[in-house]
Structure 1
Amino acid sequence: MSGQTVDSSQLQAKPTPQANNISAHHHGSSHVDPGDIAIGVVIGRASEYFDFFVYAIASVLVFPSVFFPFEDKLTGTLYSFVIFSFAFLARPLGTVLMMRVQRQFGREVKLTIALFMMGISTAGIAFLPIYERIGFTAVILLALLRIGQGIALGGSWDGLPSLLALSAPENKRGWYAMIGQLGAPVGFIIAAGVFAYLLHNLSQDDFLTWGWRYPFYVAFAINVVALFSRLRLVATNEYSRMLEEQALQPVSTSEMVSSQGYNILVGALAALASYALFHVVTVFPLSWISLYSQRSVDEFLAVQMLGGAMAAFGVFTSGLIADRFGRRNTLGTLAVLIAIFSGFVPMLMNGGDSGQTIFILVGFLLLGLSYGQAAGAVTANFKQKFRYTGAALTSDLAWLVGAAFAPLIALGLSAHFGLEYVSLYLLSGALGSLAALSLNRALEIRD
């Protein structure tokens, strides 16, 4: 789910003899150009983020009522956010397990298993009986299906963003890095739009009885489309040859951690500001509005959809800015801006409809600008043989450290101690990013 940078010496690396043999053997195979790779990256990431946000929105609007009716709405939402975090905890496990599958059976088998697991887990939630029918078993099944989503997401890493980044001209690395990140705002806009439509056209009883299940059916259908779109690329001989030439193959996790553990840790922390902001402007404000505001939820989702468009614009713009000023400078500057923005959280969220709208639009814009370059920010530091696995594990750790518990922490702190603590949470993420970037001197040299 992350883009990567690459230094010019690696772009000029010569194919190995093995790669030359593969190239000669498949000389007549169909060509895969960067445009096809870019389309595959955007489709794949948009489908993953659609699944992601369908579950996230349901965690606020649905699950507290249908799976935790024995608790008040705040406690039910906090419980929903606990289960929400399970996917991020399971994701590194999915990466490790599916990398082993790939080494034994090939990337087509791995990707097919992962995306079918994602589809089954997502559709399973759509058919899941609620608490009133089967009691606490419903909560256990929801947790297991959420873990299934996390394992599947970890296993769905296909190497397309890495391959796209390695195809980048030296002066276009930021532009190529942002392409995969467009999936986040696209997936959010579609998911929020589906829920906003259902809320606007259904009664509350109908929505909680059957309407909420519809987005999960849609998510399953989108997964099928994404599966065939990505397999169309992954299964080609040309794609396999390009991965071989760039040494984009999985390595064992033990070797990866022992040799490149420092780069994984610094890479994850460098993106901390962006990943913390990710849920503070998407999931957390929706839960706050649902609990403490008289504002219409479908209207607020429409505002967030506009924010998603701002984020998409920010992602595009981040590529131009990074190519002009350098990725490290871009990430550092955005971390400072996020730190400044964190100080306005209480004033804006308590500022009525206009203040909340400003919070969403400005927050989403900052998110797009930072997230466009955040994922995989220091994967250029990996030795070439470790890039494929390193990019996946760095992304897993960044999501786990920066985003997994963000809705739970932000809502819990704000509900019990005040919105000022959300400011402190965001500020800590920004400071973490600045500290990691200051350690990552190699990134400065490469930029």
Structure 2
Amino acid sequence: MTTYNPAPQSGTRKAPAGAMKAYIASLTGTSLEYYDFAIYSVASALVFPKVFFPGNDEFVGLLLSFSAFAVGYLARPLGGVIFGRLGDKIGRKQVLFITLMVIGIATVLIGALPGYASIGVAAPIILVLLRLAQGIGVGGEWGGAVLLSSEFGDPKRRGFWSSAAQIGPPAGNLMANGVLAVLAATISTEAFLDWGWRVAFLASALLVVFGLVIRLKLEETPVFKAIKAQGDQPKAPIKEVFTKEPRALVAAALSRVCPDVLYALFTVFVAVYATKELGMTTGNVLSAILIGSAFQLVLIPAAGAVTDRFNRRLVYGLAAAGTALYIPLFFLMIQGRSVLMLTVGVVIGLAFHAFMYGPQAAYITEQFPARLRYAGSSLAYTLAGVIGGAVAPLIFTALYAATGNWFLIAAYLLTAAVVTIVGLALGRDPQPDEEERLLQDSSTPTAQAS
């Protein structure tokens, strides 16, 4: 890795007045995404097999329900292509308004969708189509959300400003679990299966409205304004990414694998292992995950800020290497079946995740020139998600079922860490001067006249 030494912070360009508003607008969209993810996960396991896929075989209904869930992941690259292209051609703001509308409307419509008993086979078909729409929207949301916050902020502090989108997973998980906890405390299990789950989906409308109001009040990012002023929007951004930036695409995509796999371990598989192997309760595990998520609300932006002062790739790579070393220690820590050790172990594990995930948005976006950022970032993020987080729970389950222990799971994390470190080695360090020159050139009389 080459070394990048950022200039002292006192010399950096002051962030525009709209930077914090853009930060909140970015955070809102990704929080909605992971709120939906958590709610949909619960509903897929407990509700949808009965409401949308009824039949004599409960297991078949569960498989069909999880298949509908997977459609959302598979649709994300399509969303990355559609909206990534538009984001580099027409601007960040317009596309982000559309993606939030698509995600929000689809989520609310799922909450209002009649079941199989009311409209027959149309119910599961519409559910799959709505899940497809969610996935397409999410595929275009992340890249734009990152650019919205980072391109309003100081390019020499991109790690911090880009972290807005990365706070979405813990924030969304905490909100979803809060809604579920309120429903569990106020209504019966039968009522939740009947109508309570719909409340959880319909409640997302509040977050959508809040996000839309903020995004409507935002201007286009200064960076895209500069690109437009110079008439430098790409005509075929997707093609250019594949033909002119293949190394950047590979580097950005590989960097995402380890944090995705690690997050799946500590938010999904640890619940299976701790309950089935160690005999702990679901409440014990969920409490540990929620505490870890609460710490991440602070650690993720802090990690992004740290990489603004120290070499971003180095910090990211150390976190990946630390992950590989920590996983065996974590499994040894929890063999005593102590709830305290489980909680401490999950908090530490999610802290390692934060120090990769916090700077991840900045690292991915800065691999691409400004004129191709939306398309390049969206493609890298969504393609990596399919080979990383989407399949990780299935791989964990298969390895555990085949061996009955955690050794191969640790080896899987080691492999993921190596893949991410390779991605970091292939990538480039931040180049804030490129953006400074772009903004400066766009303000010249020649650029303004064009």
Measured after TM superposition, the shift of residue 336 of structure 1 is 0.9
Q: Which residue of 2 aligns with 1:430?
A: 417
Q: Are positions 1:201 and 2:186 aligned together?
A: yes
Distance 1:169 1:107 in 2: 17
Distance 2:425 2:243 in 1: 23
Give the counterpart of 1:118 among 90, 98, 103.
Answer: 103
Measured after TM superposition, the shift of residue 263 of structure 1 is 1.0
Which of 275-284 and 347-356 deviates more? 347-356
Q: Are positions 1:218 and 2:203 aligned together?
A: yes
Counterpart residue type for residue 318 of structure 2:
T
Distance 1:201 1:247 in 2: 57
Matches for 1:13-412 after TM superposition, within 5 Å: 32-63=17-48, 66=51, 80-99=65-84, 110-130=95-115, 138-156=123-141, 159=144, 161-162=146-147, 164-166=149-151, 168-169=153-154, 172-234=157-219, 241=225, 244=228, 249=233, 251-286=236-271, 295-298=280-283, 300-344=285-329, 346-347=331-332, 351-352=336-337, 353-412=339-398
Q: Is the 8 A contact 1:375 1:395 kept in 2?
A: no
Distance 1:105 1:296 in 2: 50
SS at match of 2:429: helix
Alignment TM-score, normalising by the size of structure 1: 0.80
Measured after TM superposition, the shift of residue 378 of structure 1 is 4.1
Count how many residue pairs are aligned between Structure 1 and Structure 2. Answer: 420
Distance 1:298 1:246 in 2: 56
Q: Is the 8 A contact 2:53 2:61 kept in 1?
A: yes
Distance 2:336 2:135 in 1: 36
Cα separation, partners in 2 of 1:277 and 1:246, compared to 1, 3 Å = farther
Measured after TM superposition, the shift of residue 443 of structure 1 is 2.6
Q: Is the 8 A contact 2:19 2:149 kept in 1?
A: yes
Counterpart residue type for residue 362 of structure 1:
I
Counterpart residue type for residue 377 of structure 1:
Y
Measured after TM superposition, the shift of residue 383 of structure 1 is 2.7
SS at match of 1:443: coil
Distance 2:96 2:69 in 1: 23
Measured after TM superposition, the shift of residue 255 of structure 1 is 2.4
Deviations 1:86-106 (A, max 9, x none): 222211212322355568876
Q: Is the 8 A contact 1:196 1:302 kept in 2?
A: no
Q: Which residue of 2 aligns with 1:439?
A: 426
SS at match of 1:95: helix
Deviations 1:153-192 (A, max 9, x none): 1233574532543455565343233233222221221112
Q: Is the 8 A contact 2:146 2:163 kept in 1?
A: no
Counterpart residue type for residue 385 of structure 1:
R
Q: Is the 8 A contact 1:161 1:177 kept in 2?
A: yes
Distance 1:350 1:131 in 2: 44
Cα separation, partners in 2 of 1:296 and 1:432, compared to 1, 3 Å = same
Identity %: 32
SS at match of 1:124: helix
Which of 86-95 and 71-80 deviates more? 71-80
Distance 1:339 1:307 in 2: 19
Cα separation, partners in 2 of 1:320 and 1:224, compared to 1, 3 Å = closer
